[in-house]
Amino acid sequence: MPCARCCSGGAVCTYERVDHASSPATPRSDVDTRSSHSQAGDAGPTSNGQRGGISIEFLLNFTNPSGYRPSAVIAAEAAELDDVDGEARAQLDPTDQQMANDQMFFDFADVPSVFFGFPFLMERDAEYPSPMISDSLTPELEDAYALEVRIRELIHELSAQYSSMLERNDAIQMAFDLQFAESVFTVGNVRHFVWAFFRYFHFSFPILHKPTFDLQTASLPLLLTLILFGSMSSNDSDSSIAVRRFSYIAEAYVFDKLISRQKLQMPQSAFVNNEELELIQASLLFLVFLNNVNDLATRRRIRLQRMPSVNAAVRASGLFAHRRRPFITAQGTYDWRGFIADEMRLRVGMWTCIFETTISIFFNTSPQIATAEMTGSMPCDEDLFRAESAADFERIASLGRPNQQAYTLPELMSRLLLAPPEENENKENHVSATVMLILICALMSAIMSARMNLLASMTTEPMLRATDRWKRLWDSMSHDSEGRLLPHIGFEKHAAEYWWLTRTMLRVIQSGDQSCRYLQLVPCDSGQILHDFIRKYKDFAG
């Protein structure tokens, strides 16, 4: 049914249009219409009951190359939070307000009023105070002019990258048009697309620290990546289509810098500086952005060049092994900035591992990152990472809640695989949803590695026991004391779907069924192969 905003505004609801727009590859009648978030604790219809009440709609949409982009599926869910969770999630903070709604530099005509049910950013008839005060510049205008200087520098860098690509005879998809670039990379568009990234995608890829992120100081590769990634939240407006026309040059710009940096880098450096960290962050997020492209050449480039480059950079930087330092000083004060520096670094290592597992599953290949090398600290609780100030951080940290920081991923995996169920569940009942997501991804990675090395038949039973332990732990930690389902956002919301995929893959391997293309131990460059596997076995009882 239409959402409340569309009913009050008399608009045709995007939710309703999407619900009736059946994709040839994923007919709506074949997909459970309820989200995994609402299904996790309730048994549904017969087909859903085979999965223990878990909907796999997200997996079907996320892997469907004939339907919406993976990022569109994520963005649609983020927009849905406005209606589900109310004003608490929809309210913009002052920084967001400026980035999304600066009328001086932003043309509202370029913004679609709805996108998968997205609320319009602000009412068209809203009045805004003029930023001009007599003849002087306000801080807002000074900030805009400073950002414009950075944008011109970015355009110059892209132009130089294009010239470099011509010199080495790279295949180029389009000529670089300076005037067109200047019309696309405006202060308004940059602010809006960066705002859109943090609004719709940040919770699924939380490797940046939003409270301290600054458009004026972020590296140009990272800024460019956020602009392109944020453009995926739009239902193909003129500005979003236009900015993505530069994605091929932007890809070469980001990854050429990454590879050049790797050649000069000493292995396992003691501490990754901010410039290097932001380049790796940009590369990883750009890789996620590229995963929305169905072009065969691009997907092969992801599998054969881009993902290996990111893995190598993170490994050489020591981020797979980065440990969090104590954030309470000898004087008893809380070192917020030091905590942020450590947390961003260990998160880059962990989310590289998560996305590498995703790529391995998409492309049906052996993982390139071993669980054994993930010896860094586990991510902290999200509310601690999202603290807006040093005072907020001290308040949350002083609560002293137990968490999983003392364990590394190999240690947690060993407990999941080897410990008796009772011991496992009693000692690990404090793990967070993020750690549970990391654990199920690690299990999926181990299964993919076993498959590709012809060890699947020998490891099926211990892996099934581990997935059963994971599910019991997930059911325990994802409900409150009264049995109500706790809210999750980002990919944590779909951890139970990943469990279903992991267990289904094991059961199908155990059955000896080889009728699906995905079961052949040959890499593939299309998500359609994985999508077909999920559709074929969505009701597999095993």
Mapping DSSP to helix (H, G, I), strand (E, B) and coil, where does residue 418 land?
helix
Phi/psi for 54 (5° steps) reads: -100, 120
Q: How many of the other CB atoms lie within 10 Å of CB of 277?
A: 20
Q: In this structure, is residue 248 part of a structural domain?
A: no
pLDDT of residue 422: 54
Q: Mean pLDDT, 10 residues at a time, over the chain (542 residues)?
A: 43 37 33 36 41 83 78 77 44 44 36 29 34 53 92 98 93 88 96 95 95 96 97 83 95 96 68 93 97 90 96 95 89 92 97 97 96 95 93 90 72 87 52 92 97 93 95 85 75 94 95 92 91 93 60
**How far, in Å, CA of 78 to CA of 72, rounded?**
10
Please state, in angstroms and as integers, the Cα–Cα distance from residue 500 to each residue in 335, 445, 464, 506, 541, following that order.
Answer: 41, 14, 11, 10, 11
Q: In this structure, is residue 434 part of a structural domain?
A: yes
pLDDT of residue 405: 58
Q: In this structure, is residue 523 part of a structural domain?
A: yes
What's the domain count of the chain?
A: 1
pLDDT of residue 328: 86
pLDDT of residue 269: 56
pLDDT of residue 318: 94
Rg (CA), the chain: 23
**How far, in Å, CA of 32 to CA of 39, rounded?**
10
Q: In this structure, is residue 39 part of a structural domain?
A: no
Phi/psi for 353 (5° steps) reads: -65, -45
- Say whether pTM exceeds 0.85: no
**Where do the H-state alpha helices sit in 54-115?**
57-62, 70-85, 87-90, 94-101
* Cα dihedral 276, 277, 283, 288 in deg (nearest 10): 180
pLDDT of residue 15: 34
Q: In this structure, is residue 196 part of a structural domain?
A: no
Give the closest residue to 459 by CA, choosing from 404, 510, 504.
510
Q: In this structure, is residue 463 part of a structural domain?
A: yes
pLDDT of residue 236: 74
Q: In this structure, is residue 390 part of a structural domain?
A: yes
Q: In this structure, is residue 48 part of a structural domain?
A: no
pLDDT of residue 65: 83
Could you list the residue range(s) of the whole structural domain that residue 422 is in?
380-400+412-542
